[in-house]
A and B are shown apart, each in its own frame.
Chain A
């Protein structure tokens, strides 16, 4: 005989309650330390502090910032910005008060997108949310990766035998056809920050809450047991066109700088 649905939920809830009582906040606090940012180790000091000191561990959940030498400007965020401007690499400048997200290359703004809202988030804990690292907007976040990634496979053509070509011109798909934009996507940075992009057509139609995750009940239990996957999320709400354009055209490996103050 199958267990009724409500009973199953109750069983799962009770199991979760017992598990949580055993694992508790310490488990959630351990998560970031157990999964340091890709390729970068957390400071030894923070690791040594170990369990139970959520604030200390959270500070180490993100890799050490790329700091730059002294001198003008004094503000670290602006210093990061200036240092990026001196390179020939791509980077995003998110200006929450100015409500813009800019794609910059070699110090030149090549695209500016209007942002309607910026929110910052840390994982929920039993009693509130994890603390926000103090330097989250005063550093360079590196190595953007789209999630989900583009449909990866490239079209491969094998040259025809000599004399057998038909002369037919292969017409490739448009960007819209080639790269369908998901209803929800994120941009992961190597040091642990995740940009959660909102504003796609599905969301505009009210079909999909922007932060909804699949899995529902089971996902909640998993999060309470294991902690949320990313130490820091920044949700950026855009217009649908910008939402799609960034997904299709963002160069991989782009860096991110979050700056103070608007115009």
Chain B
């Protein structure tokens, strides 16, 4: 009797074990069943072609700028053709904190180049730079009371193109740092690339930053 029970239990355990192992073998380690997607064009071909025809923006003839702020690359494009591929410097992503004083709590700034669609709002030759507060704080200098004392020339290179909110595409004294995110949010270009972008891009040129 005991022998039969033991044999019966053994058989049950064996069956359960086989089922369990079989079940586990059915599941690969991803736990997913991957297949080729069926996305044939079929009856949608007409829609697709019409849509593609109307999709390209801006129109082929117009110039626009694409900036990869992570990899510090700038492209000047005309329609689908890239006419200039340049190394630039975008925002460092650093956070600058002002020391708190008895009188006030310290401010802080985040040095990011803003993603999204922008436009060239103004173009300047031999631009002067009005140093903002953060530049004094970062350098441990006293902030001047007279606004005229903030003006500095030669820092931005030969040209500057304003994007609004203080952001610009401009030149740099530190060309060796191009390719790294070193700026406070502006986009710096080398001398020759800056000249090309300035020449090719009228006011209103769209800039796509990602």
Question: Per-residue 0/1 for B4-44: is the Cβ within 8 Å of any A Cβ (1 yes, 0 no)?
Answer: 00000000010011011101101111111111110111101
With A85-B55, A128-B33 already in contact, the answer to whether A159 and B182 are too (CB < 8 A) is no
**B24 near A129 (CB under 8 angstroms)?**
no
Least distance between B208 CB and chain A CB atoms (Å): 5
- Whether, in the assembled complex, B113 has its beta carbon less than 8 Å from a beta carbon of chain A, the answer is no
**A137 near B37 (CB under 8 angstroms)?**
yes
**A212 near B30 (CB under 8 angstroms)?**
yes
Residues of chain B within 8 A (CB-CB) of A259 are: 39, 48
**B30 near A211 (CB under 8 angstroms)?**
yes
Q: Which residue from B13, B31, B92, B181 sits with its C-beta under 8 Å from A124? A: B31
Residues of chain B within 8 A (CB-CB) of A128 are: 33
Question: Per-residue 0/1 for B177-193: is the Cβ within 8 Å of any A Cβ (1 yes, 0 no)?
Answer: 10111100000000000
Give the residue name and chain of the A residue nearest to B52 (CB).
A263
Complex formed: what's the CA distance from A124 to B98 in Å? 55
**B140 near A161 (CB under 8 angstroms)?**
yes
Residues of chain B within 8 A (CB-CB) of A43 are: none
Least distance between B168 CB and chain A CB atoms (Å): 20
- Whether, in the assembled complex, A65 has its beta carbon less than 8 Å from a beta carbon of chain B, the answer is no
Residues of chain B within 8 A (CB-CB) of A14 are: 13, 16-17, 20
- Whether, in the assembled complex, B93 has its beta carbon less than 8 Å from a beta carbon of chain A, the answer is yes
Q: How many chain A residues touch B (Cβ–Cβ < 8 Å)?
A: 85
**B70 near A249 (CB under 8 angstroms)?**
yes
Q: How many residue pairs at the A-B interface have CB separations less than 8 Å?
A: 229
Complex formed: what's the CA distance from A167 to B70 in Å? 26
Interface centre among B40, B48, B97, B139 (most CB of A within 10 A): B48
Complex formed: what's the CA distance from A14 to B40 in Å? 45
- Whether, in the assembled complex, A155 has its beta carbon less than 8 Å from a beta carbon of chain B, the answer is yes
Least distance between B97 CB and chain A CB atoms (Å): 5
Interface centre among A162, A173, A216 (most CB of B within 10 A): A162
**B32 near A121 (CB under 8 angstroms)?**
yes
Q: Which residue from A13, A212, A213 sits with its C-beta under 8 Å from B17? A: A13
**A159 near B26 (CB under 8 angstroms)?**
no
> For the side of the interface on B, what is the size category?
35 or more
Least distance between A14 CB and chain B CB atoms (Å): 6
Of the candidate stretches A32-40, A51-59, A218-226, the one touching chain B is A218-226
Q: Which residue from B26, B33, B116, B208 sits with its C-beta under 8 Å from A126? A: B26
Complex formed: what's the CA distance from A177 to B109 in Å? 23
Residues of chain A within 8 A (CB-CB) of B206 are: 106, 108
**B34 near A261 (CB under 8 angstroms)?**
no
27 A-B residue contacts at CB 8 Å?
A16-B23, A18-B16, A20-B20, A72-B50, A73-B47, A78-B51, A82-B51, A105-B208, A107-B57, A111-B66, A120-B37, A121-B30, A121-B32, A121-B35, A137-B39, A157-B138, A160-B139, A162-B140, A170-B94, A209-B29, A211-B34, A249-B71, A259-B39, A260-B39, A260-B42, A261-B40, A261-B41
Closest 9 CB pairs of A and B: A261-B41, A165-B140, A17-B20, A129-B33, A211-B30, A160-B140, A73-B47, A121-B32, A159-B137
Given contacts A154-B93, A163-B141, 10 further A-B pairs with CB under 8 A are A20-B20, A20-B23, A105-B210, A106-B117, A111-B68, A137-B39, A157-B138, A170-B94, A171-B182, A248-B71
What residues of chain B have their CB less than 8 Å away from a CB belonging to chain A? 13, 16-17, 19-21, 23-24, 26-37, 39-42, 44-45, 47-48, 50-51, 55, 57-58, 64, 66, 68-72, 80, 92-99, 110, 115-117, 137-142, 174, 177, 179-182, 206, 208, 210
What residues of chain A have their CB less than 8 Å away from a CB belonging to chain B? 10, 13-14, 16-18, 20, 72-75, 77-78, 81-82, 85, 88, 90, 96-97, 103, 105-111, 118-124, 126, 128-129, 137, 154-165, 167, 169-175, 178-179, 209, 211-213, 216-217, 219-221, 223-224, 228, 233-235, 245, 248-249, 251, 258-262
